[in-house]
Amino acid sequence: MIRLFYHKPMFAILDECTSAVSLQDEEDLYNFAKELGITLITISHRPSLLEFHDYTLRFDGKKNWEFDRLTKKE
pTM (two decimals): 0.84
Judged against a pLDDT cut of 90, whether residue 7 lies above it is answered with yes
Confidence of residue 72 (pLDDT cuts 50, 70, 90): confident
Is residue 66 classed as helix, strand or coil in its secondary structure? strand
Residue 73, pLDDT score? 65
Q: Which of residues 74 and 24 earns the better pLDDT score?
A: 24
Half-sphere exposure (CA, 13 Å, Cβ side) for 68?
A: 9
Which top CATH class is 2-69?
Answer: alpha beta
Q: CB count, 10 Å around CB of 56?
A: 13
Question: pLDDT for 15-55, tens place per residue?
Answer: 999 989 999 999 999 999 999 999 999 999 899 999 999 99
